[in-house]
Structure 1
Amino acid sequence: MSGIPRAPLVLGLAGLIPFVWGALTYLSGDLNDWGSRALGPRFVGPYVQLFYGAVILSFMSGVLWGFSTKTAGSRATLCYGLSVLPALWAFFTTGGGPVDAGTNLMIGFAGLLVLDALFWSWGLTPRWWMKLRLLLSAVVLACLAVGVFL
């Protein structure tokens, strides 16, 4: 991933661990059993993905809020308004069971990617932003799909 500074790349990849772990423990009963015993039942399968996914959507709202500070006037109003959408989406849509919550998180992360692209196109993000966001979003969506579709 050339062009992405090392720290954001490493931290972004590390942030994928709960999503990947959740998918692996969903796919492997033995790993799920071990993880439940060692870490507790909320740290395996879809449970870790759903809780962590809601946290990350909220975190990304804060990131977009920060990008919004680079603009003014009506554009700033629009950007601040758009920046809170991922957190509100997570708050209002992650109930109703693991399949519904996982589906809604997938929609939320896809929508976040659209917001990332919009803020990037307005020059509010670093130039490398979309390279990183495409990579991370693809992995998150694939991992959430395990719990939703399998």
Structure 2
Amino acid sequence: MPKQDSQSSSSGYQLTAFLGDLGSLPFTVLSLLMIQGYLSGAGLQSTSVLGLYAPYVFIAYSAVILSFLSGALWATARGSATGRLATATIIFSNLVALSAWASLLLIYVAPILTVFAVTLLMAGFASLLWAERMMNRLAGKIDRSYWSMRIRITILVVFWHIAVISMMIQEL
């Protein structure tokens, strides 16, 4: 029996890693598209995806993924944390999800708030990584393979957010 559990755990990790890598691909593609427009001199205004302004597509995708990860943290907290740790993690995950929603509204106010929206999303990804790590550490559940993947993908996503923020600031 333990062999099956180990195989099941391994295939579960492989699926998680595959989906994590696949989920980071739109960040890379959208960022490279925006970099191409920026470096060509046409600017971010020239970049679109199916006729939609590429930075807004980036923000929308980022908000959806951040909300998904917030929900996953909530579910993990309900299943493995107890007491005050569970309560704090669930409240935190809800605040991050609400900040992702707020980022979608900020883009309609002013260009500088669009930059803030991307910054807010970036902070959300970094803070979720920190919160999940703290919760797992306090619960005594650290899986090195998972954390290696989680850190790698979060670094990539934060990097692309910084790139987009930099281009947006240059065009203000």
* TM-score, normalised by the number of residues in structure 2: 0.72
**Residues 74-128 of structure 1, C-alpha deviation per residue, up to 9 Å, x if partnerless?**
3322222122122011122441443221111112112112112212212376613
Q: Percent identity?
A: 29
Runs of 5+ in structure 1 lacking a partner? Answer: none
Q: Residues 81 and 139 of structure 2 are in contact (CA less than 8 Å); yes or no, is this contact kept in structure 1? A: no
Paired residue for 2:68?
59
Q: Which residue, 159, 163, 167 being the options, matches 1:142? A: 159
Q: Residues 21 and 45 of structure 1 are in contact (CA less than 8 Å); yes or no, is this contact kept in structure 2? A: no
How far apart are the structure 2 equivalents of 1:67 and 1:129? 14
Q: Residues 116 and 133 of structure 1 are in contact (CA less than 8 Å); yes or no, is this contact kept in structure 2? A: no
Letter of the structure 1 residue corresponding to residue 34 of structure 2: Y
Q: Which has the larger radius of gyration?
A: 2
How far apart are the structure 2 equivalents of 1:135 and 1:15? 13
Letter of the structure 2 residue corresponding to residue 10 of structure 1: F
Paired residue for 1:112?
128
How far residue 17 of structure 1 moved from its aligned partner, in angstroms, is 1.5
How far apart are the structure 1 equivalents of 2:15 and 2:75? 18
Letter of the structure 2 residue corresponding to residue 83 of structure 1: S
How far apart are the structure 2 equivalents of 1:144 and 1:71? 31
Q: Residues 22 and 47 of structure 1 are in contact (CA less than 8 Å); yes or no, is this contact kept in structure 2? A: no
Q: Which has the higher contact order (CA 8 A, sep 6+)?
A: 1
Report the number of matched residues.
144
Q: Residues 23 and 143 of structure 1 are in contact (CA less than 8 Å); yes or no, is this contact kept in structure 2? A: yes
Q: 1:125 to 1:65 in 2, by over 3 A?
A: farther
Q: Residues 120 and 129 of structure 1 are in contact (CA less than 8 Å); yes or no, is this contact kept in structure 2? A: no
Higher helix residue share = 2
Q: CA RMSD of the aligned region, Å?
A: 2.7
How far apart are the structure 1 equivalents of 2:141 and 2:96? 17
Please tell me whether residue 25 in structure 1 is matched to residue 42 in structure 2: no
Q: Residues 116 and 130 of structure 1 are in contact (CA less than 8 Å); yes or no, is this contact kept in structure 2? A: no
Q: Which residue, 118, 138, 141 being the options, matches 1:102? A: 118
Show structure 1 runs of 4+ deviating over 2 A: 32-36, 71-76, 122-126
* TM-score, normalised by the number of residues in structure 1: 0.81
How far residue 5 of structure 1 moved from its aligned partner, in angstroms, is 2.2
Q: 1:115 to 1:109 in 2, by over 3 A?
A: same
